[in-house]
């Protein structure tokens, strides 16, 4: 059927309910045959038929009568709708394959993950606080807190007097504590104790 004669232009189907109804009745057979050759499940076929008509309505401005009849254009629309459906099914199957065979997390595992995330968050805050120190103070702080050196050994490694190292370490700890902030950090003291 020549679309130009009955639906001039095709975009009338968007504005006029009678034009849409006539368009649907005239082309339902074409779309059903197109879908039936490709799908065996009647529910999927009904959904695809509806999707093709919706896509045709949305894309009616793309129809060019010079390029062929509406039936051919509808088959092209149908091909795009089917391809999108296949891509969606492939994505769903890919997700199902990734999940299949994996154990789901129980509450204990989730609690351990949450604890680890909290600890890592706190560690990042401590690293940022230590990173705010000057290079000499950070080196001294790291020698004592992380490497386990005594203040005297750290002083020797840095070439300063032990008394100077003690004063600088005290100030560095105070700056780190201040950088970590107030009462919203209940583990701050424990963290600094572990680092010292």
pLDDT tens for the chain, residues 1 to 196? 444 444 455 778 878 888 888 999 999 999 999 999 888 889 999 999 999 999 998 988 888 888 888 888 999 999 999 999 889 988 988 888 877 766 667 788 888 888 888 888 888 888 888 888 999 898 888 889 888 889 998 898 889 999 999 999 999 989 888 888 844 444 444 444 444 4
Q: What is the pLDDT of residue 101?
A: 64
Same domain, 86 and 126: no
Same domain, 129 and 191: yes
Same domain, 66 and 134: no
Same domain, 74 and 135: no
Q: What is the pLDDT of residue 119?
A: 83
Residue with tokens 């386990």: 148
Distance CA 37, CA 14 (A): 28
Structure tokens at 97: 């394959």
Distance CA 126, CA 144 (A): 15
Same domain, 46 and 134: no
DSSP state of 51: H
Residue 26: give its domain's CATH number. 1.10.1740.10
User: Taking the model in full, what pTM does it have?
Assistant: 0.47
Same domain, 135 and 58: no
Same domain, 14 and 95: yes
Q: Domain residues for 20?
A: 3-99
Residue 180: give its domain's CATH number. 1.10.10.10
Phi then psi for residue 161, to 5 deg, are: -75, 145
């Amino acid at each position: 059927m020549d679309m130009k004669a009955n639906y001039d232009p095709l975009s009338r189907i968007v504005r006029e309910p009678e034009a849409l109804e006539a368009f649907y009745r005239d082309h339902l057979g074409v779309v059903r045959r197109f879908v039936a050759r490709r799908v065996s499940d009647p529910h999927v076929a009904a959904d695809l038929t509806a999707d093709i008509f919706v896509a045709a309505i949305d894309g009616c401005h793309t129809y060019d009568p010079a390029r062929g009849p509406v039936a051919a254009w509808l088959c092209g629309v149908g091909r795009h709708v089917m391809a999108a459906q296949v891509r969606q099914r492939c994505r769903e199957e890919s997700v199902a394959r990734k999940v299949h065979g994996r154990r789901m997390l129980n509450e204990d595992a989730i609690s351990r993950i949450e604890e680890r995330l909290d600890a890592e968050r706190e560690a990042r805050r401590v690293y940022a606080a230590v990173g705010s120190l000057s290079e000499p103070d950070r080196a001294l702080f790291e020698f004592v807190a992380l490497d386990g050196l005594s203040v005297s050994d750290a002083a020797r490694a840095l070439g300063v007097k032990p008394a100077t190292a003690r004063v600088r370490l005290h100030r560095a700890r105070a700056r780190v504590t201040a950088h970590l902030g107030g009462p919203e950090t209940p583990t701050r003291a424990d963290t600094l104790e572990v680092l010292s």
